[in-house]
Chain A
Amino acid sequence: MEEIIVRCSLPVRDISLSRDGEWAAVASDELDVKVVNTRDMTRIMHLREQCRPVKNVSFDVSGTMLAVSCSDGVVYMYSLSSEKLQLLKRVDGLIKTLETDAEASAMVAWHPDGRAFIAPTSTRDIQCVARNDWQRQKAFTGGHRADISAMRWSPNGALLASAGVDNSLCLWDTRTQRLIKTFEDVSNTIMAIDWHPTENMCSYTNKNGELFMRENFVPSPSSTLLKVALQPSPMNNEPLSEVSGNAQRRPGDGLKSNGVLRSVEDQYLDDLLGPDAMSEDDGGFIEDDDGAGYAEVPNGHGKRAAGGMTSLPAKRHQAYSSWQPRIHEAFQPGSTPWRGNRRYLCLNLTGFVWTVNQETHHTITVEFYDRHEHRDFHFTDPYKYDKACLNEKGTLFSCPPSTQSDQRAMLYYRPHETWTTRMDWKTQLPAGETIVSMSLSDSCIVATTSAGYVRIFSLFGVPLKVHRQKSTPAVTCASFRDYVLTVGNGSVGGDGTTRLLYSIENIRRDEIYQNEDILALPDGAELRSVFFGDKGDPCIYDTHGVLLVLLHWRTPGQAKWVPLLDTKMLERLASGRKDETYWPVAVANNKFHCIILKGGEEYPYFPRPLLTDFEFSIPVSALPKTSEEDEDKELVHLQGLEEQYVRATLQHSLQLDLVENTNASSAQKAEVPMMEREVDKVLLQLLATECREGEERGMKALEIASLMRDRSGKMLEAAGKIAARFQRDILGEKIYQLAERRLVGLVDDEEI
């Protein structure tokens, strides 16, 4: 023995060491818990919030939280960061009221991923509680008929071993909360269990004072679970809890279990979440070194293929399964993932749709911004809709198929108001198909499905068209009036990710405008959202924070993605103090409407955040540094003018396209010459700045003058006047010559 670090006046009941070994928490029959530094015993903290003796203490994996199970049935959560301790929460109603010397345990076991912990309840279940909001998550039920005396997670959190006072020892699977095995040959009540860090071995001590070590503790089909990387804790509403951290393996020839028997749910979720969705590990690839079937995905019954059958074919597929192309996973634009028991299904300029999970059913609420036009409503949803779209005319919902109730995937449309009685309609998709993404416009409903079909319905449920998408797996879709844009994964690019391809077609005219054109994303960026702006031009927003609009998309082969706004170059971020990202909502009135997400948040959450809007600013030149020098101010002014010119030409050509190709209203048609004049006005300002610079800048000034679009000569005349005001006679003469040539009709781009 080296030294005594702390003494208690009453029996010590439990000790817990923090992960780094620095701190030891000591629980005794005294009322306070002592947390003492193992190296320097003079550093000691006392946790005094309890009123009764403490039975168990437990540090979490990071060493900052201490769970103190008190004999009054309350778990006290302390946060210990840098020697300052603070009572975070009293979790009541979780553990049983026990005496400190009782055999039954009230210990709290933290899951290795740090997000949740478990505790034994008075109903002999093991209840999992989330750390961030202290809400109850899944529970391991039905395993013990007597009080639980010990519990321990496996080192990777995939398995749970628990023992009861009736000599029972149970092994559970974390992901499904199912009992894998009960051990019958335990002679005495087990008081403490622990796992070997690497091997399939478990050791435990019992009431008789004996220490046992059991080899091959986990029976053979599940023993592979021990080898996988860190598993997520059993939380509610976790898509990751459905898919284990294994690679998405393409079914090989001999592997029947993977090919045929996989349930629809797993298929759907595997399509939905590519390897990118695995947050904790390195992309989720398991190197299948010795073919023991590590990288198998369990079929719908939770069973893995029996080991023997797959050992040979697995080796042959070794080289194949070691590299997988990274595909873009599908998403529904405008929706957020589950957080707690709520999520947004659709957030756009009309309003927002959110759903609350109430275990057996969901409750969906639809709220509008324009309270006068539409009334907010909510309803209970037994089908558990997971996607929604909202527009001025109605709301569209869709639910995935479920194996329990033999329910097929379904679309449900609810118009907001009708002149007859409200006509909602529901339609079911063929068995086995799920909806990957959907979109709602003023005249049609579009749904892309897992079978690769794009199904188009009218607003009241008449199926209009079905066609198979050329680039699957589908990613997302958007629509505006009769135009439909679908995005899917195409062939693999140079960096191992697939390229995204999009198509735009008009349903009414049955014309395809863009056919599998490339959706331009830089390396490493992913698509965050796709939508149509209010003028009908498709826009995308990528994870690099750039908003792009599609130019000349109505002509096949001419489409170009032009950046409208680079949110990383916004002025408000220039000082470096703010850490913000933006969640796109829509483009309207020449502004980009979005939600500001502060400090590392990825999605907006409740209460509903406010929309902010930003003016477009094409990333033409570097961010000007604000300074007081006059020259820099001039430079800033010049850069502003240049950006204005590029933006004005872009808007002019967008408007021109609109007017030429559609039945534009007279207001829209009148905007075209106005925009042209805007362009020329900016050019005049640029010309003025150039002339002010000096005599030697004549060439650039003449070039600016030749960029003028106006063909009536007035603008060039004004340009000549500006040159005259600055006494630039030579330049003025050249401009007049240019004007005359233009009037006559000679085109002379070469000669300056």
Chain B
Amino acid sequence: MEHVTVIPRQRLDGLELLGGPTKPLNPPFSTPLPLWLALLLKKQRRANISPPPWLSVEALTHILDFETDERTAEVFSPAPTMPRAIGMTPLEGDPYLSRDSLELSPPFMSDAATARAQEDALPYHWLELGHLLLTHAADDFDEPDTVRKLLRDLREVRMSKLRKGFKVLGPGAGIKMNGVGGMEVAEVRGFVVGMVDGLRKINRSREESRKEREIEERENGLGSSSYADEEDEDML
């Protein structure tokens, strides 16, 4: 669940939500709340949303510099590091179901957009969070226009990197998409899936002949002479 840090403007009790209870709101202390609740309170002017550290001009500029650097043309900016796996079992309770010993990975990391988020990494839902916060809580930012511009630039750079990577896609080859966000994956999903499927269909005949040869070899043993050559050809 995506939490954001909220600075309340009035006292409110904690709520018992399905995802877990929220802490009571006491101004001026900031509390993490689910995103939907934070946006609702913001609209009712009962709270202000504090943008996460990675959604600031300096942090985004830093990430953008990393992305546009020529040396990192193949790589996306890294995702936030996962919290350290808790290896030891607690004293009481069933360790399997106990919350403390769960290892969360994106997109379920709990601190992606709170004030404790990592500053130099874009979390999984960065585009969505950035867009929502800028639309509904623009006055809580120092420079909303600059942030908007930086987000747009980042999106374009990363999209272009993805598209460049598609050229080498095919059976057996892939591109490293570590650090790509959810929205970006969704954008290219249709195209990539279709493309890979099409390639599969084109290569179906070759695939089938390869499979027949493999069955033959298994029956005949590994004595086939052309085993190594044909494997190499298929690998392209």
Classify chain A's interface size.
10 to 19
Contact for B11 among A373, A611, A684, CB less than 8 A: A373
B91 to chain A: which residues have CB within 8 Å? 681, 684, 718
Residue-wise, chain A 341-376 has the 8 Å CB interface mask toward B (1 for contact) of 000000001000000000000000000111111000
Extra pairs beyond A370-B11, A372-B9, A718-B91 (7, CB < 8 Å) = A349-B28, A370-B27, A372-B11, A373-B11, A610-B7, A611-B28, A681-B91
The smallest C-beta distance from A567 to any residue of chain B, in angstroms, reads 17
Residue-wise, chain B 81-103 has the 8 Å CB interface mask toward A (1 for contact) of 00000001001000000000000
A674 to chain B: which residues have CB within 8 Å? none
Given contacts A688-B88, A718-B91, are A588 and B27 in contact (CB under 8 A)? no
- Asked whether B61 is an interface residue with its Cβ less than 8 Å from the other chain, the reply is no
Q: Top 4 closest A-B pairs, CB basis?
A: A372-B10, A369-B28, A369-B27, A370-B27
A349 to chain B: which residues have CB within 8 Å? 28
* Assembly CA distance A211 to B28 (angstroms): 68
- Asked whether A287 is an interface residue with its Cβ less than 8 Å from the other chain, the reply is no
A610 to chain B: which residues have CB within 8 Å? 7, 50
- A-B contact list, 28 entries, CB within 8 Å: A349-B28, A368-B27, A369-B9, A369-B28, A370-B9, A370-B11, A370-B26, A370-B27, A370-B28, A371-B9, A371-B10, A372-B9, A372-B10, A372-B11, A373-B10, A373-B11, A588-B29, A589-B29, A593-B28, A593-B29, A610-B7, A610-B50, A611-B28, A612-B115, A613-B29, A613-B30, A681-B91, A718-B91
Question: Which residues of B, 152-176, contact A by the 8 Å Cβ criterion?
Answer: none
A589 to chain B: which residues have CB within 8 Å? 29
Question: Which residues of A, 370-394, contact B by the 8 Å Cβ criterion?
Answer: 370-373
A372 to chain B: which residues have CB within 8 Å? 9-11
Question: Which residues of A, 588-638, contact B by the 8 Å Cβ criterion?
Answer: 588-589, 593, 610-613
B9 to chain A: which residues have CB within 8 Å? 369-372
The smallest C-beta distance from B95 to any residue of chain A, in angstroms, reads 14
A611 to chain B: which residues have CB within 8 Å? 28, 30
A-B interface contact total, Cβ < 8 Å: 34
* Assembly CA distance A368 to B27 (angstroms): 9
* Assembly CA distance A407 to B28 (angstroms): 38
B88 to chain A: which residues have CB within 8 Å? 688
Question: Which residues of B, 15-61, contact A by the 8 Å Cβ criterion?
Answer: 26-30, 50
The SS class assigned to the A binding surface is: mixed
B27 to chain A: which residues have CB within 8 Å? 368-371
* Assembly CA distance A288 to B30 (angstroms): 57
B7 to chain A: which residues have CB within 8 Å? 610
Question: Which residues of A, 683-697, contact B by the 8 Å Cβ criterion?
Answer: 684, 688
Identity of the chain B residue whose Cβ is nearest the Cβ of A718 in the assembled complex: B91
* Assembly CA distance A499 to B128 (angstroms): 57
Identity of the chain A residue whose Cβ is nearest the Cβ of B7 in the assembled complex: A610
A370 to chain B: which residues have CB within 8 Å? 9-11, 26-28
Question: Which residues of A, 653-695, contact B by the 8 Å Cβ criterion?
Answer: 681, 684, 688
Identity of the chain B residue whose Cβ is nearest the Cβ of A688 in the assembled complex: B88
* Assembly CA distance A681 to B9 (angstroms): 37
Identity of the chain B residue whose Cβ is nearest the Cβ of A591 in the assembled complex: B29
* Assembly CA distance A684 to B7 (angstroms): 37
The smallest C-beta distance from A349 to any residue of chain B, in angstroms, reads 6
The smallest C-beta distance from B6 to any residue of chain A, in angstroms, reads 12
* Assembly CA distance A588 to B30 (angstroms): 12
B50 to chain A: which residues have CB within 8 Å? 610
* Assembly CA distance A688 to B90 (angstroms): 12
Identity of the chain B residue whose Cβ is nearest the Cβ of A585 in the assembled complex: B28
B28 to chain A: which residues have CB within 8 Å? 349, 369-370, 593, 611
A684 to chain B: which residues have CB within 8 Å? 91
Identity of the chain A residue whose Cβ is nearest the Cβ of B140 in the assembled complex: A610
* Assembly CA distance A373 to B29 (angstroms): 15
* Assembly CA distance A370 to B7 (angstroms): 10
A368 to chain B: which residues have CB within 8 Å? 27
* Assembly CA distance A718 to B29 (angstroms): 38
The smallest C-beta distance from A628 to any residue of chain B, in angstroms, reads 11
Residue-wise, chain A 693-716 has the 8 Å CB interface mask toward B (1 for contact) of 000000000000000000000000
The smallest C-beta distance from B55 to any residue of chain A, in angstroms, reads 15
Identity of the chain A residue whose Cβ is nearest the Cβ of B50 in the assembled complex: A610
A371 to chain B: which residues have CB within 8 Å? 9-10, 27
Identity of the chain A residue whose Cβ is nearest the Cβ of B84 in the assembled complex: A633
A373 to chain B: which residues have CB within 8 Å? 10-11
The smallest C-beta distance from B143 to any residue of chain A, in angstroms, reads 14
* Assembly CA distance A684 to B29 (angstroms): 33
Identity of the chain B residue whose Cβ is nearest the Cβ of A612 in the assembled complex: B115
The smallest C-beta distance from B78 to any residue of chain A, in angstroms, reads 14
* Assembly CA distance A681 to B88 (angstroms): 13
The smallest C-beta distance from B225 to any residue of chain A, in angstroms, reads 48
* Assembly CA distance A589 to B30 (angstroms): 12
* Assembly CA distance A369 to B27 (angstroms): 6
